[in-house]
């Protein structure tokens, strides 16, 4: 299976929100990373065929998804960034209702809901009304909804928003297990959500996919640009305005600062291995800063 974006763009009035996106995806997990306002949700809505592009098209195995329409949408599971529930619905009602909209049979629906509720840890909560759910529970219910009909293409917009650390780990495991023979695209601005499970990660900014690489390839990009330096808290307050800092560890009153820089920032700074988090800052903070200098 192949999903191919061909010069997809989206304008709102004269604002260009997506600019000539051309990417190819097949099975596996794809991460879509980028700061707020980058255009992730817009790209995702177009991919889920709930929003039409201004120009360009998406081909599913060579066929325009807009032309195959329902046949394409039947293959797609979609978790929107903003989920809304009828407030008097229970979690179980919501899943049954969603299954009916997808045209799923009764017995299959029952089995599938039981299975998914267990996977997302809501097996004891399906009889409760959705408005009594926590943010994390609502998100998990949304994830179960997206997975209901075993979609070949699973599109998740900020699926980990509101999940606690343990829920995030469980989510990543569900997605890893699910992605065999399927395409999963998930957007996030949290690097660790996709670092270890995505086969390819797209870095998006200002409506453009700036890079599409594997984690390993990204890590090489910043391999000589990460430094550790020690300073006082007062020095750090001054220093941080003119530097890209990816982390600080306070130890016995001394700040160990992780700095992104192509040049050695201090005589006693020590180079260290880069992580995807460093690369994210290198791409979105350091490179644009440098261009301005």
Ligand X SMILES: Nc1ncnc2c1ncn2[C@@H]1O[C@H](COP(=O)(O)OP(=O)(O)O)[C@@H](O)[C@H]1O
Residues contacting ligand X: total by CB under 6 A: 11
**Contact code string over 18-37 relative to ligand X, x by CB under 6 A:** ----------------x-xx
Of the pair 40, 139, the CB lying nearest ligand X is at 40
Longest dimension (CA), the chain: 69
Of the pair 47, 99, the CB lying nearest ligand X is at 47
Binding status of residue 41 toward Mg ion by CB under 5 A:
yes
Choices 39-47, 88-96, 106-114, 277-285 (CB under 6 A): range interacting with ligand X: 39-47
Of the pair 36, 88, the CB lying nearest ligand X is at 36
Q: Pick from Mg ion, ligand X, none: which does 17 bind, CB < 5 to 8 A by kind?
A: ligand X
Secondary structure (DSSP) of 228-269: EEEE-HHHHHHHGGGSEEEEEEEETTEEEEEEE-SS-SSTT-
Whose CA is closest to 48, among 22, 72, 84, 18?
72
Binding status of residue 42 toward ligand X by CB under 6 A:
yes
Q: Taking the complex as a whole, how short is the minimal distance between the CB of residue 170 and Mg ion, in angstroms? A: 23
Binding status of residue 17 toward ligand X by CB under 6 A:
yes
Which is it for strands 3-12 and 55-60: parallel, antiparallel or unpaired?
Answer: antiparallel
Q: Under DSSP, is residue 6 helix (H, G, I), strand (E, B) or coil?
A: strand
Q: Pick from Mg ion, ligand X, none: which does 108 bind, CB < 5 to 8 A by kind?
A: none
For the chain, state the CA radius of gyration: 22
Binding status of residue 12 toward ligand X by CB under 6 A:
yes
Choices 36-44, 161-169, 230-238, 263-271 (CB under 5 A): range interacting with Mg ion: 36-44
Q: Taking the complex as a whole, how short is the minimal distance between the CB of residue 37 and ligand X, in angstroms? A: 4
Please, which residues have CB within 8 angstroms of residue 184's CB and are 6 or more apart in sequence? 28, 29, 30, 154, 155, 156, 175, 178
Please, which residues have CB within 8 angstroms of residue 73's CB and are 6 or more apart in sequence? 48, 49
Among 38, 65, 137, 183, binds ligand X (CB under 6 A): 38
Of the pair 81, 247, the CB lying nearest Mg ion is at 81
Secondary structure (DSSP) of 32-48: EE--TTSSHHHHHHHHT
Q: Under DSSP, is residue 95 helix (H, G, I), strand (E, B) or coil?
A: helix
Q: Taking the complex as a whole, how short is the minimal distance between the CB of residue 147 and Mg ion, in angstroms? A: 20
Residue ranges of the alpha helices (H) in the chain? 40-47, 65-68, 70-73, 91-101, 106-119, 135-147, 165-178, 215-221, 233-239, 276-281, 287-292
Of residues 50-109, those binding Mg ion (CB under 5 A): 81
Of the pair 32, 279, the CB lying nearest Mg ion is at 32
User: Which single residue is written with the structure tokens 């229970």?
Assistant: 90
| Residue ranges binding ligand X (CB under 6 A) | 12, 15, 17, 34, 36-42
| Residue ranges binding Mg ion (CB under 5 A) | 40-41, 81
């Amino acid at each position: 299976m192949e999903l191919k974006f061909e010069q997809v763009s989206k304008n709102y009035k004269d604002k260009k929100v997506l600019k000539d996106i051309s990417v190819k995806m097949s099975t596996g997990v794809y991460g879509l990373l980028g700061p707020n306002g980058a255009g992730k949700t817009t790209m995702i809505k177009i991919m889920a065929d709930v929003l039409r592009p201004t120009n360009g098209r998406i081909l599913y195995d060579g066929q325009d998804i807009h032309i195959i329409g329902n046949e394409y949408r039947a293959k797609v599971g979609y978790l929107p960034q903003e989920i809304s529930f009828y407030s008097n619905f229970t979690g179980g009602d919501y899943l049954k209702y969603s299954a009916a909209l997808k045209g799923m049979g009764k017995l299959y629906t029952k089995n599938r809901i039981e299975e998914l509720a267990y996977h997302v840890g809501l097996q004891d909560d399906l009889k409760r009304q959705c408005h009594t759910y926590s943010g994390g529970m609502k998100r998990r219910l949304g994830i179960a909804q997206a997975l209901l009909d075993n979609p070949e293409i699973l599109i998740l917009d900020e699926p980990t928003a509101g999940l606690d650390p343990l829920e995030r780990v469980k989510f990543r495991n569900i997605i890893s297990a699910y992605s065999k023979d399927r395409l999963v695209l998930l957007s996030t601005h949290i690097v660790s959500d996709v670092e270890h499970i995505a086969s390819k990660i797209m870095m998006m900014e200002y409506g453009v996919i700036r890079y599409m690489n594997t984690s390993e390839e990204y890590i090489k990009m910043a391999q000589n640009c990460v430094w550790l330096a020690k300073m006082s808290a007062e020095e750090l307050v001054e220093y941080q305005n003119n530097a890209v800092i990816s982390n600080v560890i306070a130890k016995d009153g001394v700040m160990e600062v992780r700095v992104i820089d192509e040049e050695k920032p201090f005589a006693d700074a020590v180079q260290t291995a880069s992580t995807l988090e460093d690369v994210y800052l290198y791409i979105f903070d350091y490179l644009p800063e440098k261009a301005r200098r």
